[in-house]
Chain A
Amino acid sequence: MSRILLSRRTLLKSAAAGLVTAPLMGIERAAAAGLTIGIIYVGPRDDFGWNQAHAVAASELKKVPGVTVVEEENVPETVAVQKTMESMIKLDGAKLIFATSFGYFDPHMVEMAKKFPDIEFRHAIGLWSKDKHPSNAGSYYAYLHQAHYVDGIAAGLSSKTGKLGFIAAKPISSVLQNINAFAMGARKVNPKATVQVIFTGDWALPVREAEAANALADAGCDVLTCHVDSPKVVIETAEKRGIMSCGHNASQKALAPKGFITGAEYKWETIYKNFAALLTKGEKLPNFERGGYDKDYVQNTAFGPAASDAAKAAATAAIADLKANKPYVAGELKDNKGNVVVPAGKIIDNYDVFLETTNYLVEGVIGSIT
């Protein structure tokens, strides 16, 4: 009996000690670091996809002297993310929060930005607008479709059947941009090429993604790519079926030792390092930051063994053009129902918001958004 009492007392003592010291330690830690940045992920950091792309950037950011990075993964798009932000700010002393999932923004990030006006909040998809949202919040976004365009060029030249497959989660603008860019790239080098789209309906449905990859392989597609949270299943299924693949979000080269061509990757570390440098200097962060190859915000995965020499040459040339900020969307451009989207002679600048309002699939894409 006495033993139980003793252990209970010890437990109470240590719990009390913990309660007293935990906030102190938090303050101490915050004071010791020069700049603390919080990064919040919706899924696991090593998902071979969207979250991994941010986590790779976070690990680069950690190497910057004077910068401390605090991370939390698997944070749902609910009030849970508000709690995470609050604890990063109050306990870890974060001065800048990167919220990397679509649903974190409204109302969660907006609420927290109002509650903590001295802290900077940035959201990884372009939802911020000047009139509606606080000025210590903002958006940053990278034009991944430019890298998908390069993918398309390499895929169009590597494909033998001219039939390419695209597995997409939902028909929202950023996904449609990637599909269209992939198709435009492929049809630039092979005007007969088609891109067959399958929408799975959600961001992470491994079984349906595998079914979709099999269905496209059965339909005669010999290159697959995708826009889902974790492309691992699609790339591995393509490899199993003996066809080629292009990656998305992060590097999947290791998953397809035979069939990998190249992949569209984010390079968030450029933005993260810039923002950290601005804050360290005490300057104001941009509220609405975006860019593509010209600002080194996106990249293509190193070519895999399935990329033909012609594909490598054409893709490298396209990358050089994009780095020089040369536009790749020009009229006449039709959607896959035959309507003219961009009239002949008109050139769409890479920064034109027209691209972000994409609600159509271009000619050569087999699929429907409804």
Chain B
Amino acid sequence: MSDALTTVAVAMFAGAVRVSTPFLFVSLGEALTEKSGRINLGLEGTLVFGAMSAYAVSYLSGSPWTGVLAAGLAGSVFGMAHGFFCRLPKVSDIAIGIALMLFGTGLAFFFGKGFIQPTAPRLQAIDFGFLTSDPQLKVALQINPLFFIGLALAVVLWWALANTRFGLIVRMTGDSAATAKAMGVSVDLVRFVATTIGGFLAGVGGAFLSLYYPGSWNEGLSSGQGLMAVALVIFSRWNPLMCVAAALLFGAAGALGPALQSVGISQGYHFFNAAPHILTLAILIASSSSKRSLKGAPGELSITK
């Protein structure tokens, strides 16, 4: 039994490391965008388009890292589009987000048709397997560099938001556009830049999906991960470090269903497969409070206004 327990624990650790990266990138990007006072719901579309363009460019150029860069640039274009449309008068950022989500996935399916069949060069993992002799852990310790980049980015973002002039301006536009204007800051420009960076990160998250794990391009690839990542931002109270925790938790919980079945605990697998969502609900209920429910929420956000 203890054997089975270790197997499940290792599988959850491995799952957390393998599955969390796209969640992490999208939620970090969204955290920055929302901190500046806008919601970009279109990141699901950006993620899917990023996945497609990364795979396509990697296949055509032979270099997976060029693919990652292309995904990021494609993502920035979507971010720019969102930033541009939302600065027009009387435009809802939520509606534009939904439009861009549908546009992004549709466009990705359209251009991606020809890239379902070919095999593109994938990203290689960094092998930390030498740290252990356990064969299961050896596999779990093959970690993609993007995961570490994501972790570093979370720390940088957390620090920068709290301690730099750039962070102060972003938070100020997010909390009170009037104050920012009085200070002589262009609110639209700050939000445009924040959304563009957010789009870049979501695109890179998509590249991870198609070029590393699960590591192929097809139309069902994302299955809503971009949307879940947007929800994770609220769940982690707009704190980049909490985004890391939320993404890891989501990844680990997702590995629970398959891992339990692999050690022979197969009764009630529907329940275990739904673990990430049940866990999210449970934590949200446990951490909710009538007094501090939206602490940390940017004041300009259209859902909280």
Known: A207-B223, A208-B254. A200 touches B273 (CB 8 A): yes
B254 near A211 with CB under 8 A, answer yes
Known: A232-B216, A233-B214, A367-B266. A207 touches B225 (CB 8 A): yes
Most buried by A among B7, B223, B254, B266: B266
Q: Which residues of B contact A48 (CB under 8 A)?
A: 116-117, 218
Q: Which residues of A contact B261 (CB under 8 A)?
A: 196-199, 212, 215, 367
Q: Mark B256-299, 1 if CB is under 8 A from A, else 0.
A: 01110111101111100100000000000000000000000000
Docked CA distance A350–B273 (Å): 35
Give the contacting residue for A43; candidates B11, B119, B139, B219; CB below 8 A: B219
Task: Assess whether B96 is interfacial by the CB under 8 Å rule.
Answer: no
Closest to B4 in A: A219
Task: Assess whether B190 is interfacial by the CB under 8 Å rule.
Answer: no
Task: Assess whether A72 is interfacial by the CB under 8 Å rule.
Answer: no
Known: A215-B261, A219-B7, A241-B139. A47 touches B267 (CB 8 A): no
Q: How far is the CB of B134 from chain A (nearest CB, A)?
A: 10
Docked CA distance A254–B116 (Å): 13
CB neighbors of A among B229-274 (8 A): 254-255, 257-259, 261-264, 266-270, 273
A210 near B220 with CB under 8 A, answer no
Known: A201-B270, A236-B215. A43 touches B220 (CB 8 A): yes
Docked CA distance A199–B268 (Å): 10
B139 near A214 with CB under 8 A, answer yes
Task: Assess whether B113 is interfacial by the CB under 8 Å rule.
Answer: yes
Task: Assess whether B213 is interfacial by the CB under 8 Å rule.
Answer: yes
Task: Assess whether B180 is interfacial by the CB under 8 Å rule.
Answer: no
- 14 CB < 8 A contacts A-B: A47-B116, A74-B219, A196-B261, A198-B261, A200-B257, A204-B220, A205-B220, A208-B273, A218-B10, A236-B214, A255-B119, A368-B266, A368-B269, A370-B268
Q: Measuring CB to CB, which residues of chain B are less than 8 angstroms from any residue of chain A?
A: 7, 10-11, 14-15, 18-19, 109, 113, 116-117, 119, 135-136, 139, 209, 213-216, 218-221, 223, 225, 254-255, 257-259, 261-264, 266-270, 273
Q: Measuring CB to CB, which residues of chain A are less than 8 angstroms from any residue of chain B?
A: 43-44, 46-48, 74, 196-201, 204-212, 214-219, 229-230, 232-233, 236-237, 240-241, 254-255, 366-368, 370
